[in-house]
A = this chain, B = another copy of it.
């Protein structure tokens, strides 16, 4: 399906994409590019890639498809750096978890005759690096593509077909809709968990028993507060607008709840908690 694939950032996501396409025979030759020489050498040793490239320019020169799997903050910088070296007809796609700012920044950087397609595979593990990658990471997981009016239909079909070949269920969403969805179901919950850990730690400074009792349900509930700080810094900054909107929606609910607890409003509280349970249980069965 693709003769030469270049993967920039050959870690968990980039490495798994390469492995998945290789496994189904959708690619002939894979070139890897990575800022970490140890990781890059490992990708070669593991035969995840056929060839490593010393520079972005060299890496993308022969590529029919370029997959950018670097931190979301660096995607447009990478696109700016590779743009002059892309061959005519080349398609560039990414795996960033914020889409509007990324796609808006990347599209104007693309030379005539090349195409950019925004993407976000909904998959991951708590591990990172090429050694953690595996061909089945995307199996039955969703991959969202975010075409715009500027997106070439042939390029979109190619990227869609490749994610399908990698095992994903491909869905299309506009960039702003994507960012609102993930602000709600992922980015806000992370902000809540990060804040909760800080608040409980502050109270533990006055009440030493708190830390001793935080090893139970609290530890499970705040598992996502253990996520990579730099990744979440970048997501918070790059999906700022949709995230601030969710901050405010959440604050409305939380403030209302605080007021009703303070007022001792038993009826309101039972109704609020009952609705929470019903909504959450309906999510669980979808």
Contacts and interface: CB of A to CB of B under 8 A. Distances in A.
B195 A253 contact: yes
Given A218-B283, A266-B233, A180 B203 contact: yes
Interface stretch (A29-37, A39-47, A108-116, A241-249): A241-249
A222 B189 CA distance: 9
Interface string A88-102: 000000000000000
Judged by DSSP, the binding face of A is helix
A80 interface: no
A281 B223 CA distance: 9
A226 B107 CA distance: 43
Given A226-B277, A276-B197, A215 B283 contact: yes
A207 B192 contact: no
A177 interface: yes
Interface stretch (A2-10, A56-64, A255-263): A255-263
A211 to B, nearest CB: 7
A103 to B, nearest CB: 17
17 contacts: A180-B210, A182-B213, A185-B210, A185-B218, A188-B200, A189-B222, A192-B192, A198-B279, A199-B250, A202-B249, A202-B253, A214-B283, A226-B276, A226-B284, A227-B273, A229-B274, A237-B269
Given A177-B209, A215-B286, A221-B224, 6 more contacts: A186-B218, A198-B275, A219-B283, A221-B221, A226-B280, A230-B270
